[in-house]
Amino acid sequence: MSDIVIRRPVESDFPAIGEIYADPAVVLQTSQLPFGTANFWGTFYRQRDPNSVELVAEVDGRTVGHLGILTNSSPRRKHVASFGISVHSDYHGKGVGKALVAAMLELTDNWLNIVRLELTVFTDNPSAIALYERFGFEREGVARAASLKLGSYADLLTMARVRLE
């Protein structure tokens, strides 16, 4: 596999981002609904919250991963951000998620002044949980029956990385 390039998305990435979120393995581990289209993702990004920062991962010219950071505009929570990440299943276990999280932390730590970075992840996604823990995220609690997944309620784990230096 070639080098992983992390960059900001451009409009030509929307079809590939749509493919990532249409991947059945990805749909199972996100809060997105299936059947998203390139048009849907194009509209989504054009209307995206101005407090968000988006990154994509590219391998051999193919957009294979996406990460979105949502910062807060509230004066008392400007130091807090949340994020979501998805990697096409063809690239699971190949360092794409690791590269996206590392790039995100470079931004949040050194450019966005984020002290608390938080996320939720399905409790049945041990590889994602292990990735986050490698980067210093800690488990904070489980929200029982917090999401619908394949017709059943599923638990979400809340994790956070707090940098109080």
Average pLDDT (121-128) is 97
| Summary mean pLDDT of the chain | 92
- C-alpha span between 44 and 113 (Å, rounded): 26
Q: For strands 80-87 and 116-122, give the pairing.
A: parallel
Strand partners, 4: 59
pLDDT grade, residue 31 (50/70/90)?
confident
pLDDT at 156: 98
Q: Please tell me the predicted confidence (pLDDT) of residue 153.
A: 98
pLDDT of residue 63: 97
Condensed to tens digits (0 to 9), the pLDDT of residues 79-104 reads 999 999 999 999 999 999 999 999 99
Residue 129: in which H helix or E strand, if any? helix 126-134
Mean pLDDT of all residues in 131-141: 98
Q: Tokens in use for 10? A: 């451009």
Rounded to a whole number of angstroms, the CA Rg of the chain reads 15
Whether pTM > 0.85 for this model: the answer is yes
| β-strand pairing of 4-7 with 116-122 | unpaired
Buried b / exposed e over 100-133, threshold 16 CB at 10 Å, is bbebbbebbeeebebbbbbbbbbbebeebbebbe
Give the range with max mean pLDDT: 7-16, 21-30, 97-106: 97-106
pLDDT per residue as tens digits for the range 32-82 = 777 766 667 667 767 777 778 999 999 999 999 999 999 988 999 999 999
Ordered domains of the chain (ranges, CATH): 4-118 (3.40.630.30)
